[in-house]
Amino acid sequence: SQQGEEDPQALSIQEGENATMNCSYKTSINNLQWYRQNSGRGLVHLILIRSNEREKHSGRLRVTLDTSKKSSSLLITASRAADTASYFCATDALSGNTPLVFGKGTRLSVIA
Amino acid sequence: NAGVTQTPKFRVLKTGQSMTLLCAQDMNHEYMYWYRQDPGMGLRLIHYSVGEGTTAKGEVPDGYNVSRLKKQNFLLGLESAAPSQTSVYFCASSTGAYNEQFFGPGTRLTVL
């Protein structure tokens, strides 16, 4: 399995601080995606970064990808209580049409 | 656009009973997926479909069957429910294997 693994499993920060989550994977990929899941809800897509990209921004989100280390990080700047959620990375396979594989997620708590 | 909808939202079954979960999407997506989510396990793919009339097994297909008779619908069946199938089930859809997935709100199933 080339499942991504997020680190840490849980993270608790104060509002206004930055939150960094990491994802490591095992085999070469086409792209890597990050999703957010609020408690009791379905996952929502945040950002997709392609294997030939090193960094991508979307609002307060910054994603980096290091294909040599097979790792990615998600940075949320100036966090808010509403950012409290679980965050998952998802990876695809370099070849074939196999579906994305999701990691187990990082649970982020932002304390007001 | 309703996006991805799931029916029902909650269900309680007794061991050995059968049921069908319905997923519908109005985005004309080719790919549809069924996942289960258990505490500490992340999302695990049960079955998926790459188009109308096609289905394929995912990571944890045992005890489940699926059908994709219409492009917009993907049904997940449990023929003889077991307590181990107590979980939250999510349906998702996408335009392709590597593309963003859109998730439904989930179905919380309890098997007694």
User: pLDDT per residue over B7-24, tens digit each?
Assistant: 999 999 999 999 999 999
Which alpha helices (H) appear in chain A, and where do they start and end?
Answer: none
Cα–Cα distances in angstroms (integers) from residue B12 to residues A39, B1, B21, B67, B111, in the given order: 20, 29, 12, 22, 6
Cβ–Cβ under 8 Å, residues A60 and A34: no
Tell me which of A16-30, A96-110, B62-76, B91-105 is least confident: A96-110
- pLDDT score recorded for residue A97: 67
Residue B77 has pLDDT above 80, yes or no: yes
pLDDT of residue A85: 97
Considering only residues 52 to 111 of chain B, which have any Cβ-Cβ distance to chain A shorter than 8 Å? 58-59, 90, 92, 96-98, 100-106
Give whole-number Cα distances, A29 to A86, B24, B100, in Å. 23, 29, 15
Examine the pLDDT at B83 and tell me if it is beyond 80.
Answer: yes
pLDDT tens-digit readout, A61-72: 999 999 999 999
pLDDT of res. A92: 87
Instruction: Kindly give the parts of chain A with pLDDT less than 50.
Output: 1-2
A39 touches chain B (CB under 8 A): no
Q: Which of A92, A98, A104 sits opposite B42 (nearest CB)?
A: A104
For strand A101-102 and strand A85-91, is the pairing parallel, antiparallel, or unpaired? Answer: antiparallel
A24 touches chain B (CB under 8 A): no
Q: Which of residues 62-91 of A touch B (CB under 8 A)?
A: 88, 90
Closest-approach residue (CA) in chain B for A93: B98
Which residues 6+ apart lie within 8 Å of B62 measured at CB?
none
Q: Is B34 on the interface with A (CB under 8 A)?
A: no
Q: What is the pLDDT of residue B21?
A: 98
Mutate to test the interface with B, among A43, A95, A101 (most CBs of B within 10 A): A43
Mean pLDDT of B37-45: 89
User: Which pair of tokens denotes residue A40?
Assistant: 């009791």
pLDDT (0 to 100) of residue B41: 79
Residues of chain B above pLDDT 90, percent:
92
Cβ-Cβ contacts under 8 Å for B38 (sequence gap 6 or more)? B44, B87, B88
Question: How many CB atoms lie under 10 A from the CB of residue B80?
Answer: 11
Nearest 5°: phi and psi at A22? Answer: -120, 155
Cα B39 from Cα B37, distance rounded (Å): 7
Yes or no, beta carbons of A43 and B92 under 8 Å apart: yes
Asked if B105 contacts B9 with a C-beta cutoff of 8 angstroms, the reply is yes
Q: For residue A44, what pLDDT is reported?
A: 97
Instruction: Name the residue among B90, B98, B106 with its Cβ closest to that of A31.
Output: B98
Token representation of residue B82: 């077991």
Minimum distance, in Å, between the CA of residue A34 and any CA atom of chain B: 10
pLDDT of residue A94: 65
Average pLDDT, chain B: 95
3-class SS of residue B85: helix
